[in-house]
Amino acid sequence: MMVPALTVVQGPGVGNMGLQMSAIVSACVKLNAKRIRITFSGADVAAFLRIGAAQRPGNWIKLFVPTPAGGCVGRAYTLRTFDLDEGTFVVDFVIHKTGAVSLWAQAAKVGDAVTFAGPRDGGFNLLPDAKRLLLIGDSTALSAIQAILTHVPSDLPVEALIVVEHPAEHETLVAAPHVRVNWISSAEDAPNESGALEIAFNNLPASLGHCQVWMAGESRTVVAARKLLSERWTLEEARIHSKIYWKRGTSHFRT
Ligand SMILES: Cc1cc2nc3c(=O)[nH]c(=O)nc-3n(C[C@H](O)[C@H](O)[C@H](O)COP(=O)(O)OP(=O)(O)OC[C@H]3O[C@@H](n4cnc5c(N)ncnc54)[C@H](O)[C@@H]3O)c2cc1C
């Protein structure tokens, strides 16, 4: 199959972000009050997906959307799924009150144009000696968690601890005997996300052995979880991959 060449786009406000590619919204589905699923397509999307790194689970892009004032903002988003034959990828947007991209996603319609750059680093790699996998995240990490669950061998025990605000945000993830998903509601089970995770951590076994940990979410929660794992379970730093996806009170947070 002929792979189309990438189009270079320099949009308003994009600045020096390297190669910008075009994408068109081809479907929008409101999954629940906090989540909108958008499918992107176009020649650049098809070409981008053929870059090997774009196919790694947990891979993310910088997505640039227009603002009502005529500018453009960019934020990081994970590819939930992709379809090489159709030349499409899917992103799930967590909806919150004030974010520029959150607002864009709520108004998005088929035919809308955006640009994106990537693939960015951060795709998931399973350690060769991992005997068990622990995935920790909030609703912004659900796409990465789902992609990782789909990717790992079916004989690897996996536990996912997922903090969402309300039980209505639970969704069906990979259901397999080796996968255990523990949903925690920060609004109902605990005073905040960190507290909710601590409750979930209490159910973990005393020893995690050759466990690999992947986690992502709000800054304070990720930092607290990482500290707990290295102190209480004395897990080696090299076994813990953590990434801050957003920071409460900070727009466009970057580590
Ligand atoms: C590698 C990576 C992958 C990511 N993948 C995804 C993904 O697949 N789906 C996804 O939805 N997000 C994902 N995120 C998080 C997303 O980039 C941020 O939430 C981003 O800040 C949203 O941009 P915004 O313009 O809506 O809000 P901003 O303008 O950045 O923030 C405005 C305000 O909203 C707050 N805020 C930001 N995000 C949230 C949130 N999720 N919940 C509540 N308040 C928030 C900020 O603290 C700030 O006060 C990812 C982040 C990274 C780094």
User: The domain that contains 176 carries what CATH number?
Assistant: 3.40.50.80
**Which residues, judged by CB distance below 6 Å to any ligand atom, belong to the binding site of ligand 1?**
60, 75-78, 91-94, 96, 98-102, 122, 140, 143, 243, 245-252
**Is 7 inside any structural domain?**
no
Residues recorded for the chain = 255
Interaxial angle between packed helices 219-232 and 193-201, expressed in degrees from 0 to 180 and rounded to the nearest 10? 30
> Any idea what the CATH number is for the domain that residue 48 is in?
2.40.30.10
Q: How many CB atoms lie within 10 A of CB 28?
A: 17
Q: Is the pLDDT of residue 236 over 60?
A: yes
Q: Are residues 137 and 93 in the same domain?
A: no
Distance between CA atoms of residues 253 and 255, nearest Å: 7
| Ligand 1 atom closest to residue 94's alpha carbon, by position in its atom list | 11
pLDDT digits (tens, 9 = 90+) for 66-122: 999 999 999 999 999 999 999 999 999 999 988 999 999 999 999 999 999 998 876
**Is 107 inside any structural domain?**
yes
**Is 1 inside any structural domain?**
no
**Is 122 inside any structural domain?**
no
**Is 13 inside any structural domain?**
no
Boundary (domain end) residue, out of 91, 117, 143: 117
Q: Are residues 90 and 49 in the same domain?
A: yes
* Domain around 186: 132-246
Model pTM above 0.85: yes
